[in-house]
Amino acid sequence: MIRVCALMDLPPGEAVRIVGPHAPIAVFNADDVLYAIDDTCTHQEASLSEGWLEGCFVECPLHAASFDLRTGEPTCLPAKRSVKTHPVVVKDGVVYVDVEVNKDVA
């Protein structure tokens, strides 16, 4: 588990991008439910954390591909492949993401 930020620093509608040895991850606060997905759009190099959050969907800022934050699946073209999702936990007001899922692709 890696520390993302304090929960108060991730208000509803916001996103943060975390980098490290793992692929960049975007963590979203969608109406008080937190989701983490791989940050890079599967269509072309663009950061989903900079995208438009609506409900539990995020729209890529470059070509408007949309992903379901719950499953990582694209909901429309031009993206075809899913982004990986990661478990998020909040403990003592701090947001953590489990990046284990990413290890095999690192």
Applying the rule CB under 8 A, the residues between 39 and 98 that interact with another protein are: 44-47, 49-52, 59, 61-64, 77-78, 80
Rounded least distance, CB 89 to another protein, Å: 25
Rounded least distance, CB 36 to another protein, Å: 18
**34 CB contacts (<8 Å, ≥6 apart)?**
10, 27, 28, 88, 90, 95
38 makes contact with another protein (CB under 8 A): no
CA distance 47 to 53: 13
The verdict on whether omega for the bond into residue 78 sits within 30 degrees of 0, i.e. cis, is yes
If the CB atoms of residues 57 and 94 are measured against another protein, the closer one turns out to be: 57
Look at residue 6 and give its three-state secondary structure.
strand
If the CB atoms of residues 9 and 98 are measured against another protein, the closer one turns out to be: 9
Residues lying near another protein in the complex (CB under 8 A) are found at: 44-47, 49-52, 59, 61-64, 77-78, 80
